[in-house]
Amino acid sequence: MSAGKRGALIIFEGCDRSGKTTQSRLLVKHLKSKGLSVLAMNFPERSSSIGQVINSYLTNSKDLPDEVIHLMFSANRWEHMNQVKQQLLEGTTLVVDRYSYSGVAYSAAKGLDFDWCYAPERGLLKPDAVFYLRAPAADDLANRGQYGEERYEKVEFQGRVAKVFDKICSKEASYWHQLDASQSVDDLHAQVAGIAEELLPKVANQPIDKLS
């Protein structure tokens, strides 16, 4: 990498079982095969002490008020921001499974105010691209296996989450790429890889923005 060229912050968003994890792994593998420096991340990052509380909440072994868990998800992103910024500046591209938008979508789907949910995300690093894997009908997703083990994995709830993602997608259209999650893994990957390959050289000399 030549001096000063930064990596890209690439996010995958979407409902549970929309294929985010598979697609983010495939993208990491693809970019690595091109000789690029790339790392995978996911939020929630469950290993920190905040992450462990989030994990207990998600696995139903701990209950917390909706507002409190919302702020913990956000704090979990904030506690990793310095490290993320450093890696980007060193030229590493980060492929991240979920980010602020999941934070807003899941909490707003519970009934919390949209703007209140978004407020603690302001100031976090702004992604260069968000791949929104738009889910087919929620009952289709339920057939993808292991649905229903964690707190939010209920068909009706996922439908509400999808509506919030749709709203964010139309507001943030300049860097969101809505992709049909019902197509084959390979077709989806080809689309993602094409967009990412175009993006990387474009952002290499751009400053890192913040969410506002």
Shortest distance (Å) from residue 187 CB to ligand FDM: 23
Q: How many CB atoms lie within 10 A of CB 36?
A: 18
Provide the strand spans (E) within the chain.
9-14, 38-42, 93-97, 129-134, 176-180
Is the separation of the CB atoms in 119 and 211 below 8 Å? no
Q: In Å, how far are 10, 13, 37, 93, 108 from 200, measured between CA atoms?
A: 10, 19, 11, 8, 32
Shortest distance (Å) from residue 150 CB to ligand FDM: 6
Per-residue interface string for the shown chain with ligand FDM, residues 4-43, x marking contact by CB under 6 A: ------------x--------------------------x
Shortest distance (Å) from residue 184 CB to ligand FDM: 22
Selected from 14, 41, 50, 73, the binder of ligand FDM by CB under 6 A is: 73
Contacting range for ligand FDM; rule: CB under 6 A; set: 2-10, 99-107, 175-183, 188-196: 99-107
**By C-alpha distance, which of 164, 136, 141 is closest to 154?**
141
Query: Is residue 78 a contact point for ligand FDM (CB under 6 A)?
Result: no
Alpha carbons 144 and 206: distance in angstroms, whole number? 39
Q: How many CB atoms lie within 10 A of CB 92?
A: 17
Tokens 């591209």 sit on residue: 93
Alpha carbons 3 and 191: distance in angstroms, whole number? 30
Shortest distance (Å) from residue 200 CB to ligand FDM: 24
Contacting range for ligand FDM; rule: CB under 6 A; set: 33-41, 94-102, 171-179, 180-188: 94-102
Number of residues that bind ligand FDM (CB under 6 A): 12
Selected from 102, 108, 128, 192, the binder of ligand FDM by CB under 6 A is: 102
Contacting range for ligand FDM; rule: CB under 6 A; set: 81-89, 97-105, 169-177, 186-194: 97-105
Q: Tell me which residues touch ligand FDM (CB under 6 A).
A: 16, 43-44, 58, 73, 97-98, 102-103, 106, 150, 152
